[in-house]
Chains A and B, each alone.
Chain A
Amino acid sequence: MPKKLDKVINRAIHLFLPWHTNNQKARLIHPQIIILFVIKLIVLQVGLQFIPASGLKILGYAANISPDEVIRITNEQRVSVGLLPLEANPTLAQAAQAKGADMLNNNYWAHVSPDGTQPWSFFVNAGYSYRYAGENLARDFTNPASAVEAWMASPTHKDNLLSANYRDIGIAVIEGDLDGVDTTIIVQFFGTKYTDTVPSVPIAEAQPASTEAPQFSPSPAPVAATFPSPSPESSLVAVQTPIAEAGPIGGRVLISPFSTTKGVSLVVVGLLLNVLVFDGLITRRRRIARIGGRTFAHLSFLGMVLAIVLILKAGQVI
């Protein structure tokens, strides 16, 4: 056998199996090596954090999300609990579009902008005089169903989505650069026009109009019997900015921080699980006694970590 091949095999045995060269414990599961994995994972995260600062763009979460689909799934959820569907409103969609653009232009991810602008300003600026108003935000989802699922999983967003106070909905899906990462933001605006809730009264009895404070998670209220049915023109209502084509664009690096982290995590945890299995089997068979943690316990813990890595999905809601 050539000397070089012999060296490679010995090195592999040293790394992956219990042997006299590694104190009867696969080198990859020695604490010093696991610490190296930890350090490298941290360095990877720091690197991913600083790539945007170096001037390179990361293609993070490009997605093709249809606003109509968001409205359809939202209304499905409402109908399933006995509520009437919301009507797609072009003014609200414009307001949502303005909010999304404001977030990208001013580089923030919040309900209130850094200069203190409330979401409700966008309703008023677009010409939507509201009685009730609500806002749900989502980012980095790859499809509309996951975004609605995430809102439904959060009690406050669910309250908004299933509030009987609202009659209109406006959706904007915007893709752009947020903190140096290409991001897809979904802005979901809910509202009920002031005029829809004020009964017609003689002029002499009319009170000065006052706009009720908007709510992020309003309590349900009876729905008017004359609730409008969804407009047949709903497809014209939702606003979506053109989504950039996925592919190498000048200066862009085609990596997603979440997918990269997930991939690297799966490789590291998977590798250690395999080494632990072989190490456990061999030490048991050879009846090797050694001081150390329980292999079965480490296998169980890393198995759970692997399950969590697989469970975790990209996407944030606020």
Chain B
Amino acid sequence: MMKRIAKHLPHYLSLAGILIAGVVGFLVFSYERAFQIAVAIGLALAYVAWGIIHHAIHRDLYLSVVVEYIVVASLGLVVILSLIFRA
């Protein structure tokens, strides 16, 4: 169990870093629409990249997996962008 956690830890720490940076970015750039849009797009791209790298390292990278990350990232991006443009 510990071995498994140790194996995945660097991956999930990097993911946590990306996601925390996103939340902090929105807190720091509140009311700065251009920065928020840039942060949202950056987050979506970083999430897809993380997914691809993570699965490539674990040797279970398939097209359906990439599509799944792209779709989840797109949902997040659409949700955040709609709110930014409606704010």
Which residues of A come within 8 Å of B, CB atoms? 31, 34-35, 37-38, 41-42, 44-45, 48, 140, 150, 153-154, 257-258, 261-262, 265, 268-269, 272, 291-294, 296-298, 300-305, 307-309, 311-317
Contact status A291-B83, CB under 8 Å? no
| CB proximity of B52 to chain A, nearest CB, Å | 10
Total contacting residues, chain B, CB less than 8 A: 42
Give A291 to B60 CA distance when docked, in angstroms.
8
Q: Which residues from chain A contact B32 at a C-beta distance below 8 Å?
A: 153-154
Give A261 to B83 CA distance when docked, in angstroms.
6
* Highest count of chain B CB atoms <10 Å: which of A42, A44, A261, A315: A261
B87 is contacted by which of A154, A292, A300, A315 (Cβ under 8 Å)? A315
Give A257 to B72 CA distance when docked, in angstroms.
24
Which residues of B come within 8 Å of A, CB atoms? 12, 15-16, 19, 22-23, 26-27, 30-33, 36, 40, 43, 47, 50-51, 54-55, 60, 62, 64-65, 67-69, 71-76, 78-80, 82-87
Contact status B72-A261, CB under 8 Å? no
Q: Which residues from chain A contact B82 at a C-beta distance below 8 Å?
A: 41, 44-45, 261, 265
Contact status A293-B87, CB under 8 Å? no
> For chains A and B in complex, what number of residue pairs have CB atoms within 8 angstroms?
124
Q: Which residues from chain B contact A296 at a C-beta distance below 8 Å?
A: 12
| CB proximity of A68 to chain B, nearest CB, Å | 23
Q: Which residues from chain A contact B85 at a C-beta distance below 8 Å?
A: 45
Contact status B87-A34, CB under 8 Å? no
A257-B86, A297-B15 given as contacts; is B64 within 8 A of A291 (CB)?
yes
Contact status B26-A41, CB under 8 Å? no
